[in-house]
Amino acid sequence: MILTITTDFSTFAGYAELAVQLISPTKGILSEQRTLWTDTSRELKVDIPIAEDSKEAKVVVFPIGPIIPKTSTPFLSKFVCRPLPHIVGVESPRFAPKTAARIDSVYREFVIDGFPFRIAEQSGETIIRHVWDAGIILSAAATCNPVSLLPDELQTFMQMTGIYGATKILEMGTGVGVLGISLAAQFPEAKVVVTDLEDAEPFVRENISINSPNFPHLRENISFRTLDWGDRRFPDWTLNETFDLIVMADVTYNTSTFVALADTLEHLLKHGATGAQVVCCGKRRHEEEEEFWRIVLGRGFLVHQRTMFTMDLNGIFRHCQDGMKKDGEQVIDFIIMNTSLTSNNWAAAKATPTIC
């Protein structure tokens, strides 16, 4: 098989030893190979011997290595359920090992309040229909119980978001749904609407379905709706349905969508989501991402809190409010913004941008 090693499409130099197991539902581990991922290996070929009588099995890939001190990032370790919180394992569905059929989806397994939380994503080297880093991090922070496991600065940030008391949550750009579904799983009293392009819906619906046995309230408190930021014929529900919180994870990587995303946020906050807070988490991939925040500030948005951390190759978080990273680190951005503007005075605000 070919393993594609990626952190979405950004560079992240490092290495890790991986265990690759072929597991039978009746006989357990049939075979195991170990391989080393290095920063020069985007793809790894792994050969696994198959026994003559192998009828059904699944492949499981997970990182192995030295245990990270418990004081590093316990909230991430708890969510990914492994001592290496910067690498998330993956497993295939069951298949007949002797066939050459392509496996089109794989599963990530997380943990929320002691219950398995599984997310299906597309296999293959693409940037769509995948679990992305900031979605994992914000999901881990939002579902962390107790919140004392969060770093002090992140704990303060999360308490300011309004997530814990939100009654109606809208997610923009949900992808395969890891963030929105984790919020719906953790907060059964909240109604969660996750949105994206139409082709995201099959994976989102599958992920709601496979998690419903452990979180039965998902059948009632979460729904998917199509929302295309580039389409100016906004759906009717965006005009009259109220939300008190909008969440976004890893939505500012593509500069060509900045204006469309800002337009959509502006539309929502002028209508049904008037007064809502917007909570955004993103892994910084390039300096051009800062342009998005200049755009929304120029439209009358107010940034109330911006907290930055770096994450190194051991998955250790370090608060760095200046955003300066060391070698081997990546910057994770947490932002809270909203606006007190109404549709009547929005135009005036555009003429006088608020600088934060």
What is residue 343's predicted lDDT score, i.e. its pLDDT? 44
Contact 238, 271 (CB under 8 A): yes
Orientation of helix 178-186 relative to helix 201-211, angle to 10°: 30
Please state the length of the chain: 356
- Kindly write down the DSSP assignment for every residue of 263-280, as one continuous string: HHHHHHHHTTTTT-EEEE
Beta strands in the chain (DSSP E): 2-4, 15-24, 28-38, 43-45, 58-64, 90-91, 105-112, 115-122, 168-172, 191-196, 222-226, 245-249, 277-283, 302-311, 317-319, 330-338
At 288-316, the pLDDT tens digits run 999 999 999 998 899 999 999 998 877 77
Q: What is the mean pLDDT of residues 8-27?
A: 77
| CATH architecture of the domain with residue range 2-351 | 3-Layer(aba) Sandwich (3.40)
Judge whether residue 118 has pLDDT over 90.
Answer: yes
Residue that wins the pLDDT comparison between 1 and 162:
162
Confidence band of 347 (pLDDT split at 50, 70, 90): very low
Beta partners for residue 35, in sequence order: 18
What is residue 340's predicted lDDT score, i.e. its pLDDT? 62
- Closest to 7 in 3D by CA, of 142, 137, 171: 137
What is residue 145's predicted lDDT score, i.e. its pLDDT? 93
Judge whether residue 67 has pLDDT over 80.
Answer: no
Judge whether residue 170 has pLDDT over 70.
Answer: yes
Sign of CA dihedral 107, 89, 114, 283: negative
At 144-160, the pLDDT tens digits run 999 999 999 999 999 99
State how beta strands 302-311 and 90-91 pair: unpaired
> Where do the domains of the chain lie?
2-351
| HEC string for 166-231 | CCEEEEECCCCCHHHHHHHHHCCCCEEEEEECHHHHHHHHHHHHHHCCCCCCHHHHEEEEECCCCC
Residue that wins the pLDDT comparison between 50 and 161:
161
End-to-end Cα separation, the chain, in angstroms: 50
Q: What is the mean pLDDT of the chain?
A: 87
What is residue 68's predicted lDDT score, i.e. its pLDDT? 57
By mean pLDDT, which of 1-10, 180-189, 231-240 is the weakest?
A: 1-10
Judge whether residue 355 has pLDDT over 50.
Answer: no
Judge whether residue 182 has pLDDT over 70.
Answer: yes
Judge whether residue 260 has pLDDT over 80.
Answer: yes
Q: What is the mean pLDDT of residues 173-192?
A: 97
Confidence band of 137 (pLDDT split at 50, 70, 90): very high
Confidence band of 3 (pLDDT split at 50, 70, 90): confident
What is residue 14's predicted lDDT score, i.e. its pLDDT? 66
Q: Is 154 left (phi over 0), alpha (psi -120 to 50) or beta?
A: alpha
Preceding omega of 146 cis (within 30 degrees of 0): yes
Cβ neighbours for 173, distance < 8 A, ≥ 6 positions apart: 195, 196, 248, 249, 250, 251
Cβ neighbours for 266, distance < 8 A, ≥ 6 positions apart: 299, 346
At 263-272, the pLDDT tens digits run 999 999 999 8
What is residue 9's predicted lDDT score, i.e. its pLDDT? 52
At 22-64, the pLDDT tens digits run 999 989 999 999 988 876 677 788 988 887 777 889 999 988 8
Residue that wins the pLDDT comparison between 333 and 356:
333
At 72-115, the pLDDT tens digits run 688 998 998 877 667 788 999 998 877 767 788 999 999 999 99
Residue 120, helix vs strand vs coil: strand
Contact 334, 254 (CB under 8 A): no
Q: How far is CA 254 from CA 9, 231, 290, 310, in A?
A: 12, 17, 11, 21
Token pair belonging to 282: 């993103």
Cβ neighbours for 219, distance < 8 A, ≥ 6 positions apart: 208, 212
The Cα angle at residue 79 between residues 77 and 84, in degrees rounded to 5 = 30
What is residue 146's predicted lDDT score, i.e. its pLDDT? 93
What is residue 352's predicted lDDT score, i.e. its pLDDT? 43
